[in-house]
Structure 1
Amino acid sequence: MPRNSSDPADAPTSAPEGVGVQFLTVPDELAGQRIDNFLQARLKGVPRSRIYRILRKGEVRVNKGRVKAEYRLKGGDVVRVPPIRVSEAPEKPVAGEQLRRVLESAILFDEGGLLVVNKPAGLAVHGGSGVRLGLIEALRQMYPQSPFMELVHRLDRDTSGAILVARKRSVLLHVQAELRAGRMGKSYLALASGKWPRSQKLVEAPLRKNTLKSGERIVVVDGEGKPSRTRFQVLERFPAGTLVAAEPITGRTHQIRVHAQFVGCPLAGDPKYTPDEVNSAFRELGLKRLFLHSAEVRCTLPDGRAVSVAAPLPEELEVVLQGLRGA
């Protein structure tokens, strides 16, 4: 049975008053991106089904020719975008001057299409789930000249330190491939409660995400979880805890935190995996946050250049260590 001609799915795409055909030149940073994803990013509010339809009908042209949705763009391609009504997007939150100043001073490396940022604790890496503005949204506002800006990996909101951000798609794909292959290095500093066992240099415990009745999401050690491995090295011992270096071999959510808990030495200041009485004792020493810091990241750029960037320990964590040494 034919559809009614008034079906909105058959309606021609139309533009708000004053908006017509657009011709967009693809920057080199976006080379390799699929045309459907390129359009989705620029036609906010337009259903993906509509984007596939205008591609199928040939209303979108690349260098004057028809292309399929899986076509991968090249730098310099000229994309014809037909008039199409875009629903009004909600007003985006704006990064304030204080946050901009903090992030400007936190840039540790900016070369070859790769940013390394010393993320402050308390800042989410991206918006969502009640967070209006995250690190990546703030960076996109700070670098309006960069058409591409994506997280290479993530850090928990309460974790500080070095995080990689790609300013070129080719860099993102290259470094993420290194990450999957285990060639990218990440070193953390963590304060574990109690006495870390001398023999516990490698923790191999499968991890599974779990949702409690309250709706809180936690990670647990479970035989049916994903294989997870973390190397630990004791750096300094105190009566109340142990400063350790942690290198995650796999990249599971909350991996270092849960593996430390599994050993019996949960991280100081961890509100999710450490008992309240343990955290209370560390609060008396001045610790007001999770003691977990991304201290160093190592990778290579697509041209083969090796990159190694260290992020200094925040002053509020250094003060805690000084207090432990004087105890």
Structure 2
Amino acid sequence: MMRPMRSNPPPKSAPAADPASSATPTDSWSPSGGVQLLTVPDELAGQRIDNFLQARLKGVPRSRIYRILRKGEVRVNKGRVKAEYKLQAGDLVRVPPIRAAEQAPAPVAGEQLRKLVEESILYDAGGLLVINKPAGLAVHGGSGVRLGLIEVLRQMYPQSRFIELVHRLDRDTSGAIMVARKRSVLQHVQAELRAGRVGKSYLALAAGKWPRGRRVVEVPLRKNTLKSGERMVSVDPEGKPSETRFQVLERFRGATLVAAEPVTGRTHQIRVHAQFVGCPLAGDAKYTADAVNREFRELGLKRLFLHSALVRSTLPGGELVEVKAPIPAELEVVLAALRDL
């Protein structure tokens, strides 16, 4: 199961006096003002500081938000924090002045995109949303992506003060993803994730013949960032422990349909573990050879064949929720073509 990053401990007070210590706490941010102090309300406790800032600094690029965090221009209770720091109710967030030139018009989801996301809602009850995310849609903006799933949902539910991703999917991966509309739901499901009690199953098409009897891949992974900014993951003895369970569902000529259940939640985990056993995923531009991908394109595959088919978790009240995401039509076409070979 995917394991979210641990939050940092509450930041310590800086030894020197903060220049904004005389500012008055506010509940909103003004691009024309100077330093602002924002008090975190109860319902936003548990939210990451980067997401908190992104929701309030409308039009400010995500790259700029990460930069002011790295440089220590953003302070929480007068202390430096990292982007993954999770806020607590009553935290005092210092926001530096942002020049108007650094702002860009806040991206607005078009009617077609809103309709696509609305039609992709599989479950909406008890403070939990499950979306059948289309391939190609990032889960959030950043790194050249102006608008992601979470931004679209926040525009669709303007009355909701709390909408956060429970976990993530790669941009090219389709399928079920959980989004919390209540802080209590986010905290509960992420605790279930850490405890290994959340079920997640993917459908993946592996190139070649999957080794018989290979049901578990347990090799450490290391994440690297290239000079271009592209993220790549490799098997490395000094990497983080990673485990994926695989089950062969159907064998074809030159390919194998497998179910993959990640026990850990490392970046690109299923993709790299499949590559490790010699069966990289069809349509994977990062980890599969171009010649192999060309063969699958001839069968109609235009994307990575990886789909989040099922998520299962309890809600805070104990109710068990299991949601299945139907496989997209464009992937069914590929399977039909393979069966005809």
Shorter-chain TM-score range: 0.7 to 0.9
For 1:245 and 1:135, how far apart are their aligned partners in 2?
Answer: 25
For 2:46 and 2:114, how far apart are their aligned partners in 1?
Answer: 31
Pick the aligned partner of 2:272 from 249, 258, 275: 258
For 2:73 and 2:293, how far apart are their aligned partners in 1?
Answer: 52
Which residue is 1:189 aligned to? 203
3-state SS of 1:139 partner: helix
The one-letter amino acid of 1:316's match is E
Shift of the 197–147 alpha-carbon distance from structure 1 to 2, 3 Å rule, reads: same
Which residue is 1:5 aligned to? none
Q: 8 Å contact 2:31–2:99 — kept in the other structure?
A: no
Pick the aligned partner of 1:139 from 143, 146, 153: 153
Which residue is 1:247 aligned to? 261
**Runs of 5+ in structure 2 lacking a partner?**
1-17, 25-29, 33-37, 79-86
Q: 8 Å contact 2:40–2:88 — kept in the other structure?
A: no
3-state SS of 2:19 partner: helix
Answer with 44-53 or 190-199: which moved more. 44-53
The answer on 1:72 being equivalent to 2:89 is yes
Shift of the 204–42 alpha-carbon distance from structure 1 to 2, 3 Å rule, reads: same
Q: 8 Å contact 1:190–1:267 — kept in the other structure?
A: yes
- 1:133-212 matches, cutoff 5 A: 133-212=147-226
The one-letter amino acid of 1:255's match is Q
Q: 8 Å contact 1:31–1:170 — kept in the other structure?
A: no
Pick the aligned partner of 1:294 from 286, 308, 316: 308
Q: CA RMSD in A?
A: 3.8
Q: Which runs of 4+ in 1 moved over 4 A?
A: 10-17, 23-26, 31-35, 37-53, 84-89
Q: 8 Å contact 1:207–1:221 — kept in the other structure?
A: yes
Shift of the 309–321 alpha-carbon distance from structure 1 to 2, 3 Å rule, reads: same
Which residue is 2:293 aligned to? 279
**CA deviation after TM superposition for structure 1 residue 90, in Å:** 3.3
**Runs of 5+ in structure 1 lacking a partner?**
1-7, 18-22, 57-69, 74-78
For 2:202 and 2:226, how far apart are their aligned partners in 1?
Answer: 28
Pick the aligned partner of 2:19 from 6, 9, 18: 9
Post-superposition Cα deviations, 1:179-214, rounded to whole Å, max 9, x if no partner, equal 111111110000000000111000001000123455
**CA deviation after TM superposition for structure 1 residue 52, in Å:** 6.2
For 1:25 and 1:261, how far apart are their aligned partners in 2?
Answer: 44
For 2:89 and 2:53, how far apart are their aligned partners in 1?
Answer: 12
Post-superposition Cα deviations, 1:74-95, rounded to whole Å, max 9, x if no partner, equal xxxxx9x9xx988655321000
Which residue is 1:3 aligned to? none
3-state SS of 1:9 partner: coil
The one-letter amino acid of 1:208's match is R
**CA deviation after TM superposition for structure 1 residue 217, in Å:** 2.1
Which residue is 1:238 aligned to? 252
For 2:137 and 2:205, how far apart are their aligned partners in 1?
Answer: 20
The one-letter amino acid of 1:254's match is H
Shift of the 13–193 alpha-carbon distance from structure 1 to 2, 3 Å rule, reads: same
Q: State the identity %.
A: 71
**CA deviation after TM superposition for structure 1 residue 276, in Å:** 0.6
The structure with the larger Rg is 1
Q: 8 Å contact 1:30–1:168 — kept in the other structure?
A: no
Normalised by the length of structure 1, the TM-score is 0.80
**CA deviation after TM superposition for structure 1 residue 301, in Å:** 0.6
For 1:225 and 1:25, how far apart are their aligned partners in 2?
Answer: 36
For 2:251 and 2:291, how far apart are their aligned partners in 1?
Answer: 20
Q: 8 Å contact 2:207–2:254 — kept in the other structure?
A: yes
For 1:215 and 1:13, how far apart are their aligned partners in 2?
Answer: 37
Q: 8 Å contact 2:40–2:89 — kept in the other structure?
A: no
For 1:198 and 1:302, how far apart are their aligned partners in 2?
Answer: 40
Shift of the 16–145 alpha-carbon distance from structure 1 to 2, 3 Å rule, reads: closer
For 2:110 and 2:189, how far apart are their aligned partners in 1?
Answer: 30
